[in-house]
Amino acid sequence: VFSLLYRSLVSKKHGKLITFLRTFMKSRPTKQKLKQRGILKERVFGCDLGEHLLNSGFEVPQVLQSCTAFIERYGIVDGIYRLSGVASNIQRLRDASHEFDSEHVPDLTKEPYVQDIHSVGSLCKLYFRELPNPLLTYQLYEKFSDAVSAATDEERLIKIHDVIQQLPPPHYRTLEFLMRHLSLLADYCSITNMHAKNLAIVWAPNLLR
């Protein structure tokens, strides 16, 4: 009798627990609502690129879109991407990096950043430098290394193109977006003194390591 009574009590408690959990799961706010309320903050810097884009719903990182748009508007200046910004401004933007994953991105047009344009360029490079798997990926490092060592320019271009096609889709889309931006900047090399070779020198360590 005691055994039957005990099992009955346990069964009732178990049933109440299941009911409670079911009610809790139904009433639990969605991830999107938690993000809108500022309760849940997605990590942006130091997060795997594919994972970040999957969680954020963006085709390419919002931090890249925001920084490049700012630089194309305000950053056609001498030494863009070569010169570093003020460390405190870079850190301030880095600390607010979770906002690059929301609908309300940091206002880069505020006075500190417009006066210190290089801090935005530094932030953009920092994002790529902190990716746990570089944009050109550890997996393809040897293939890229072999490609750039090809004997002729034509062979080099063909091999690099072939390796780029092997990038994971999030990495490929992001690389394409970044290359379009850098190609645009190279057109202003008479103002910035940053022609394609200089841009490649300052960017390469952030993309392939």
Superfamily of domain 49-207: Rho GTPase activation protein (1.10.555.10)
pLDDT of residue 37 exceeding 50, the answer is: no
pLDDT of residue 32 exceeding 80, the answer is: no
The 10s digit of each residue's pLDDT in 69-97 is 999 999 999 999 999 999 999 999 988 87
Sorted by where each begins, the domain ranges of the chain are 2-36, 49-207
CB < 8 Å & 24+ apart, contacts of 176-184: 177/60, 177/64, 177/65, 177/68, 178/64, 178/68, 178/135, 181/68, 181/71, 181/72, 184/72
pLDDT of residue 99 exceeding 60, the answer is: yes
**Is the CB of residue 111 less than 8 Å from the CB of residue 157?**
no
Amino acid identity at 11: S
pLDDT of residue 169 exceeding 80, the answer is: yes
The pTM (predicted TM-score) of the whole model is 0.79
| More confident site: 105 or 4 | 105
Q: What is the reported pLDDT for 43? A: 76
The 10s digit of each residue's pLDDT in 105-129 is 778 888 888 899 999 999 999 999 9
pLDDT of residue 174 exceeding 80, the answer is: yes
pLDDT of residue 182 exceeding 50, the answer is: yes
Q: What is the reported pLDDT for 100? A: 75
pLDDT of residue 34 exceeding 50, the answer is: no
Share the mean pLDDT of the chain.
86
pLDDT of residue 46 exceeding 70, the answer is: yes
